[in-house]
Structure 1
Amino acid sequence: MRILVVEDDAGIASGLRTNLQQRGYAVDVCDGVAAAWSALRAERFDAVLLDLGLADGDGSELLQRLRLSPAADSPLQTALPDPATPVLIVTARDQVHERIAGLDQGADDYLAKPFDVDELDARLRALLRRAAGRASPTIRYGEIEVDPAARTVRRQGRPVEMSPREFSVLLVLLQARGRVLSRAQIEEGLYSWDAAIESNAVEVHIHHLRRKLGATCIQTMRGVGYFMPQESL
């Protein structure tokens, strides 16, 4: 899952990046409204953590602009940000009327600073779960059960060991099941801007997942990409 952190305090931004990366997220950081808008136009993010008091404007301006953005005609279109991108406001503004205003402007959740990182992670997981249309904290797919919070996988009730990157690839494909994702789209959900990407990394991870979860778990559409069928085979 790829997260955009919009925060102009370098210390807080660095702490968020480190903590979220340790929890398996790919994290990019912007320090202002203009940079964040450019990022949202260029890339797809699973969620945005948004501060309000930014050096070049108010985060609420970015939120309103995002929500009013027209939806792209195609999921491959990157010139427009996705107006449905989940947004969690993380700010020092903790008055009730400010929280109400943020939620009414389109935020999906609101967390006042200072906060516990475990609570932030829990709120982020809930936000991503709602965005995916799931009520349950676990994802069930045939004989596979995935717990995003614990980052564990079971097959037929037995634990399946996998690397953090394998888990992330599986989660990206599960969230998009029924849709074909290109290698670039999978990489987009896994790697931040400064991450080094090996040319065949996605193929290697998918090979390992098929070996551990079954050969038919992940399908290939030659020349297009990979997908998990809507219903398990």
Structure 2
Amino acid sequence: MVGFDRYKARIVVKGYAQRAGIDFDDTWAPVSKLESVRSFLATVATRNWTVHQVDVKTAFLNAELTEEIYIRLPEEVDGGTQVYRLRKALYGLKQASRAWYEKLKDMMTSFGWTASDADLAFFWRETAAAGYEGLTTPIITLTKEQINAFQCEACVANKQIRPSFPTSSTRFGKGKCLHIDLCGPLRAEGPDGEFYMLSVIDDGTRYGAVRFLPRKSDAADCTAIELQKLFQTQMGVPTTIMRFDNGKELTSTIV
């Protein structure tokens, strides 16, 4: 018998019952044009940029309403005979998408981003480019200050978003997991001449290294436990979980 943690339910508004001019006025919200997406990806490919993707959890539920909207809960629910005023949008509400865009736009503009005149769903910001190429500092002696000098602009933007909205890129417990950074790793050459991949965890506080093996037969020389010891002893990274690209996890409480 499969167990469960909790029941999950979501209140959805009967938007089809809303009346124009009474329950809502404007419902239009911009959607990214396919041409904008293609142009952006083409620019990323030609300039060797890194794409950082953030998914805001239950985005519409973060949108604040300017109108007075009231709902009645189903009769089966406790308090179903009462009427409740909505302070934020719910799924099904006709103005939910527009309210969410206004919330997102206000947040982005406060961080210095500007909506494009050609596509209101496309935001841009001019920043000083940080070059990643030519980083040959030995990985064991790479300091936090040196890493911050190469900090990804996408990570900075994501950190600004987090105080406002919960994002799926913060799902790892602090000090618990090592994973390839969402903004892309930095390539570095170790003191032994081997090439490593430096991984900066998404909150910028934990770092790790992955060794590239030229042959599968060399895997015995660098087991997962040895790699975890490298994190803990030489880099001072407290880890209890290592997550791999295929989804498998290695848990080690004592290393």
**Counting helix residues as a fraction of each chain, which structure ranks higher?**
1
TM-score, with structure 1 as normaliser: 0.29
TM-score, with structure 2 as normaliser: 0.27
Structure number with larger C-alpha Rg? 2
